[in-house]
């Protein structure tokens, strides 16, 4: 992974493969996936349930190790680090957002957001940063609340703030609207899109939902672990159109495989 393109990309994935189980129970979750994300780009990976979306994000985050291939974040090959360094690296360079928010119930909104800094170093340096995040995400009057006192949309916004607090190289979002109703889901997408533009964030979102993917710049279609198509969202004026294209790509490949 020495090409200059690779080195300058926030995330570069090369020929990544990962399977689970063995012999007749073996599942190829990710198959020879290569992708790159440019600084400030929002990439979506869309695929049906079981297509390997979460596995791909976990590989990019270094939470799972690949059978083959490489992942580089900020030009650093994840395989070159031992577990301890990888943990520190992840805390500094990767912000994760999950479908289920993963907030700590006993901590306030503020402490949940600051958690990545409390675990690492540099809290004092970024103390003012939290006020900006709370304001941007509409959470200022919730900072002393606990997660169970918040709506689903508010809890997910706290999770986003927590993913952003350490100024990571990349934000990885796994079905971030999966637990929200469609109105709150769209509001959340709008907020993520605004953050990306204003703060020039680099984001990878995985989803099965075209109305989430349409907010990205570029959409990769994942099917049975393979990237089978790249779509530019500029070519689609509605998520319905994008969704129709997505279904077309899936059925096209189903025919090819059959």
Residues at the site binding Mg ion, with contacts judged by CB under 5 A: 53-54
Q: Which does 29 bind (CB under 5 to 8 A by kind): ligand ADP, Mg ion, none?
A: ligand ADP
List the structure tokens of 10.
């926030």
- Enumerate the β-bridge partners of residue 94: 170
Candidates 12, 16, 33, 52; binder of ligand ADP (CB under 6 A) is 52
Q: Which is nearer to ligand ADP, 9 or 54 (CB)?
A: 54
Q: Interface with ligand ADP includes 20 (CB under 6 A)?
A: yes
Query: Which one of Mg ion, ligand ADP, none is in contact with 177 (Cβ closer than 5 to 8 A by kind)?
Result: none
42-50, 148-156, 160-168, 213-221 -> range binding ligand ADP (CB under 6 A): 42-50
Q: By C-alpha distance, which of 3, 97, 90 is closest to 42? A: 97
Cα→Cα distances 12→5, 7, 37, 38, 231, Å:
9, 8, 7, 9, 18
> Quick one: 29 or 150, whose CB is closer to ligand ADP?
29
Question: 17 pairs with which residues across the strands?
Answer: 68
Only one of the segments 7-15, 47-55, 80-88, 233-241 lies at the binding site for ligand ADP (rule: CB under 6 A); that segment is 47-55
Identity of the residue, 29 or 117, whose beta carbon is nearer to ligand ADP in the bound complex: 29
Structure tokens belonging to residue 77: 């090959």
176 binds ligand ADP (CB under 6 A): no
Binding region for ligand ADP (CB under 6 A) out of 34-42, 52-60, 178-186, 249-257: 52-60
Task: Write the burial class of residue 47 (CB in 10 Å: 0-12 exposed, 13-18 middle, 19+ buried).
Answer: buried
207 binds ligand ADP (CB under 6 A): no
Compare residues 50 and 120 and give the one whose CB is closer to ligand ADP. 50
- Residue (of 68, 65, 67, 101) closest to 81 by Cα position: 65
Contacts with 230 (C-beta within 8 Å, 6 or more apart), sequence order: 218, 219, 220, 221
Q: Pick from 4, 49, 82, 124: which binds ligand ADP (CB under 6 A)?
A: 49
- Say how far apart CA 219 and CA 70 lie, in whole Å: 21
| Least Cβ distance, residue 107 to Mg ion (angstroms) | 26
Judged by DSSP in three states, 15 sits in strand
Q: Are 202 and 37 within 8 A, CB to CB?
A: yes
At residue 144, the 3 state secondary structure works out as coil
Cβ closest to ligand ADP, residue 40 vs residue 178? 178
Q: Are 27 and 20 in contact (CB under 8 A)?
A: yes
With respect to Mg ion, which residue has the nearer C-beta, 102 or 238?
102
Supply the minimum distance, in Å, between the C-beta of residue 64 and ligand ADP: 8
Contact call for residue 54 and ligand ADP (CB under 6 A)? yes
Site membership for ligand ADP, residue 50 (CB under 6 A): yes
What's the rounded Cα separation, in Å, for the pair 74 and 12? 8
Please tell me the distance from the alpha carbon of residue 70 to that of residue 175, in angstroms, as a whole number: 24
- List of residues contacting ligand ADP (CB under 6 A): 20-21, 27, 29, 47, 49-55
């Amino acid at each position: 992974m020495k090409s200059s393109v690779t080195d300058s990309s926030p995330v570069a994935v090369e020929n990544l493969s990962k399977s689970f189980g063995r012999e007749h129970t073996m599942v190829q979750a990710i198959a020879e996936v290569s992708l790159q994300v440019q600084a400030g780009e929002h990439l979506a990976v869309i695929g049906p349930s079981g297509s390997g979306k979460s596995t791909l994000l976990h590989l990019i985050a270094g939470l799972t190790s690949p059978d083959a291939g490489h992942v580089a974040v900020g030009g650093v090959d994840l395989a070159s680090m031992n577990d301890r360094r990888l943990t520190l690296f992840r805390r500094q360079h990767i912000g994760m957002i999950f479908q289920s928010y993963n907030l700590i119930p006993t901590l306030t909104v503020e402490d949940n957001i600051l958690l990545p800094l409390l675990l690492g170093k540099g809290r004092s340096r970024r103390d003012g940063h939290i006020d900006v995040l709370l304001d941007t995400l509409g959470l200022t009057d919730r900072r002393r609340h606990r997660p169970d006192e918040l709506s689903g949309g508010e809890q997910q916004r706290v999770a986003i703030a927590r993913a952003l607090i350490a100024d990571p190289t990349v934000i990885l979002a796994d079905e971030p609207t999966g637990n929200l109703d469609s109105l709150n889901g769209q509001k959340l997408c709008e907020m993520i899109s605004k953050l990306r533009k204003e703060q020039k964030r680099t984001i990878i979102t995985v989803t099965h939902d075209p109305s989430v993917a349409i907010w990205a710049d570029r959409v990769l279609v994942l099917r049975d672990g393979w990237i089978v198509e790249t779509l530019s969202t500029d070519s689609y004026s509605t998520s319905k159109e994008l969704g129709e294209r997505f279904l077309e790509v899936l059925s096209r490949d189903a025919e090819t495989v059959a």
